[in-house]
């Protein structure tokens, strides 16, 4: 059997949110590559050789995966959530472009997964029920000024927003600055939702008005959803109506 | 057993993309409600009573579902894709807000699914690999002027974009106008991808440069993805790099 590479999304955490397509790929794989916590999760669904690696080595990991597939191995590169949303798929194509021409003939597939923002939205109700955007607040790979401009334009456009990687030990201040920018554009009543460990037993959901949101409310494992001026509460749920004025 | 209501996402079409969580809910349901084609799909996974309805009656359908759940039935409201993305979840909360106070105590859950934009992106490579937005181009429920402004701001913000419901028989011209707006803001080389029947045997993917995209290339069943000025092609794939200048 010839080699292949599947970039597989494991969803937000619960096994009940892993697609059958991903389960099949993990079952057929000879090798599983990824950030250590995701490889550990995948390890429960496969008998493949496990290749855990550190965070922030996406390009090297993708190159190693392509090399194995070129040698005839059946390789699953695992991501949390959806591999196409701030995860491993783009890194695999960057490594493909940088690698030998022959790699472009490899059997490469991206297997979608439930991304954190959609799992968090489902747990909250339907805060992304109207037009929305997804922004990675990490400035490791893009200038912070560009993120600021994007936040301003997104708020002016009336998008609901999901923020990935809002804050980390090495970037403690950016999320507070992002909130400041949003407060300059949106009513203070707009809900800001902090979702952690979505779909897991230790899931937590916290919602505060924009006026009361602070930088310390998020960390690297928090998914933040910001509603619009039209987002409403009903019972324990939040939703953004389909109808807009 | 007391009643409940689950708003369940069936994903883009392939059974391999339906989550185990949704399968379990369909198996436990006594009633399945939704737009007829989705109810027909769900019918293969359940022995529940099927309540198919027409398109564009989302609010009435949601009200009927809540009424059944209040009577003690176990009700699955089915959507294609993810119920929180331009689908039934928002309609259920609108109906909940408009209905009797007692309904707010009902056991209501939203079960996420693979939304069309993420399945299409996976099939194309990783065109949404950087910050992106999702816009419903239908002006049935919002003024077209607001959509135009949103498109302009989204392009200026440098978002990759996914368009749901780009064009229908009753709205034949809006998508062509949307392309015109994008051409005023973005280089003509930006890729525009048309995805139909994603994850099904008759899936088609077509990519053209923005300068060559025309309104007729989309219909109501097309999911459109627009890359950014940084989106690249490698082999048969498109991806938007994680690194941005």
- Indicate yes or no: CB of B242 within 8 angstroms of CB of A121: no
**Would residue B244 count as lying in a domain?**
no
| Alpha carbons within 13 A on the beta-carbon side of B122 | 30
Do B123 and B58 have their domain in common? Answer: no
Do A157 and A218 have their domain in common? Answer: yes
Per-residue pLDDT band at A242 (split at 50, 70, 90): confident
Contacts of A21 in chain B (CB under 8 A): 14, 16-17
Do A186 and A218 have their domain in common? Answer: yes
Do B108 and B132 have their domain in common? Answer: no
Average pLDDT over residues B88-114: 97
Do B33 and B97 have their domain in common? Answer: yes
* Domain end (from A62, A81, A114): A114
- Indicate yes or no: CB of A97 within 8 angstroms of CB of B245: no
Between B57 and B203, name the one with better pLDDT: B203
A153: domain range? 117-239
Contacts of A133 in chain B (CB under 8 A): 131-134, 154, 157, 159
**Would residue A218 count as lying in a domain?**
yes
Predicted local distance difference test score (pLDDT) of residue A245? 60
Contacts of A154 in chain B (CB under 8 A): 133, 153-154, 157, 159
User: Per the structure, how many domains does chain B have?
Assistant: 2
- Indicate yes or no: CB of B19 within 8 angstroms of CB of A18: yes
Q: Per-residue pLDDT for B88 more than 90?
A: yes
Q: Per-residue pLDDT for A1 more than 70?
A: no
**Would residue B154 count as lying in a domain?**
yes
Chain B residue with the nearest C-alpha to that of A143: B245
Q: CATH number for the domain including B11?
A: 3.40.1010.10
CA distance B130 to B139: 27
* Domain end (from B89, B114, B139): B114
Percent of chain B with pLDDT strictly greater than 70:
99
Tally A–B CB contacts below 8 A: 223
The interface predicted TM-score of the complex, written ipTM, equals 0.97
* Domain end (from A83, A114, A145): A114
Do A100 and A126 have their domain in common? Answer: no
- Indicate yes or no: CB of A108 within 8 angstroms of CB of B240: no
Do A179 and A84 have their domain in common? Answer: no
Residues in chain B: 245
Give the closest of B123, B128, B239 to A93, CB-based: B239
- Judge residue B241's burial from the number of C-beta atoms within 10 Å of its C-beta, 0-12 exposed, 13-18 middle, 19 or more buried: buried
**Would residue A234 count as lying in a domain?**
yes
Question: Contact A203/A119 with Cβ under 8 angstroms?
Answer: no
Q: Which of B25, B116, B131 would you mutate first to test chain A, the one with the most A CBs within 10 A?
A: B131
**Would residue B157 count as lying in a domain?**
yes
Contacts of A17 in chain B (CB under 8 A): 19-21, 112
Predicted local distance difference test score (pLDDT) of residue B1? 54
Q: Per-residue pLDDT for A220 more than 90?
A: no
- A19-68 pLDDT, tens per residue? 999 999 999 999 999 999 999 999 999 999 999 998 879 999 999 999 99
- Edge-to-edge strands of the sheet including A74-79? A49-53, A31-35, A74-79, A4-9, A107-111
Q: Tell the residue number behind the tokens 């494991």, with chain if given.
A: A10
- Indicate yes or no: CB of B130 within 8 angstroms of CB of A113: no
Do B100 and B56 have their domain in common? Answer: yes
Do B125 and B198 have their domain in common? Answer: yes
Per-residue pLDDT band at A2 (split at 50, 70, 90): confident
**Would residue A213 count as lying in a domain?**
yes
Predicted local distance difference test score (pLDDT) of residue A98? 97
Do A100 and A139 have their domain in common? Answer: no
Predicted local distance difference test score (pLDDT) of residue B245? 60
- Indicate yes or no: CB of B244 within 8 angstroms of CB of A24: no
Q: How many Å lie between the alpha carbon of B42 and the closest alpha carbon of chain A?
A: 16
Do B109 and B23 have their domain in common? Answer: yes
- Indicate yes or no: CB of A235 within 8 angstroms of CB of B105: yes
- A154-208 pLDDT, tens per residue? 999 999 999 999 988 888 889 999 999 999 999 999 999 999 999 999 999 999 9
Query: Which tokens belong to B244?
Result: 């941005």
Do A133 and A108 have their domain in common? Answer: no
Percent of chain A with pLDDT strictly greater than 90:
90
- Indicate yes or no: CB of A239 within 8 angstroms of CB of B17: no
Predicted local distance difference test score (pLDDT) of residue B154? 98
Predicted local distance difference test score (pLDDT) of residue B242? 87
- A119-157 pLDDT, tens per residue? 999 999 999 999 999 999 998 888 999 999 999 999 999
**Would residue B26 count as lying in a domain?**
yes
- A78-111 pLDDT, tens per residue? 999 999 999 999 999 999 999 999 999 999 999 9
**Would residue B245 count as lying in a domain?**
no
Q: Which of B234, B238, B240 would you mutate first to test chain A, the one with the most A CBs within 10 A?
A: B234
- Indicate yes or no: CB of A159 within 8 angstroms of CB of B150: yes
Q: How many Å lie between the alpha carbon of B48 and the closest alpha carbon of chain A?
A: 21
- B108-164 pLDDT, tens per residue? 999 999 999 999 999 999 999 999 999 999 988 889 999 999 999 999 999 999 999
- B18-68 pLDDT, tens per residue? 999 999 999 999 999 999 999 999 999 999 999 999 887 899 999 999 999
Q: CATH number for the domain including A224?
A: 3.30.950.10
Predicted local distance difference test score (pLDDT) of residue A126? 98
């Amino acid at each position: 059997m010839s080699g292949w590479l599947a970039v597989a999304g494991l969803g937000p955490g619960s096994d009940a949110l892993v697609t059958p397509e991903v389960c099949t790929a993990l079952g057929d794989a000879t090798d599983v590559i990824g950030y250590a916590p995701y490889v550990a999760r995948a390890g429960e669904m496969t008998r493949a050789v496990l290749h855990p690696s550190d965070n922030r080595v996406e390009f090297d990991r993708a190159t190693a995966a392509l090399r194995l597939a070129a040698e005839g191995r059946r390789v699953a590169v695992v991501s949390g959530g959806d591999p196409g949303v701030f995860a491993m798929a783009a890194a695999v194509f960057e490594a493909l472009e940088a690698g030998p021409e022959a790699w472009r003939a490899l059997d490469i597939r991206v297997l979608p997964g439930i991304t954190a923002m959609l799992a968090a939205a489902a747990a909250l109700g339907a805060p992304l029920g109207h037009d929305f955007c997804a922004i990675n607040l990490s400035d490791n790979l893009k200038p912070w000024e560009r993120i600021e401009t994007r936040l301003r334009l997104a708020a002016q456009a009336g998008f609901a927003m999901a923020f990935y990687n809002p804050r980390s030990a090495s970037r403690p201040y950016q999320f507070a600055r992002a909130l400041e920018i949003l407060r300059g554009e949106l009513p203070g009543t707009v809900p800001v939702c902090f979702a952690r460990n979505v779909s897991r037993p230790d899931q937590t959901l916290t919602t505060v008005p924009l006026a009361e949101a602070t930088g310390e409310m998020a960390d690297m494992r928090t998914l933040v959803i910001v509603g619009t001026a039209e987002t409403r509460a009903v019972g324990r749920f939040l939703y953004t109506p389909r109808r807009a004025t």
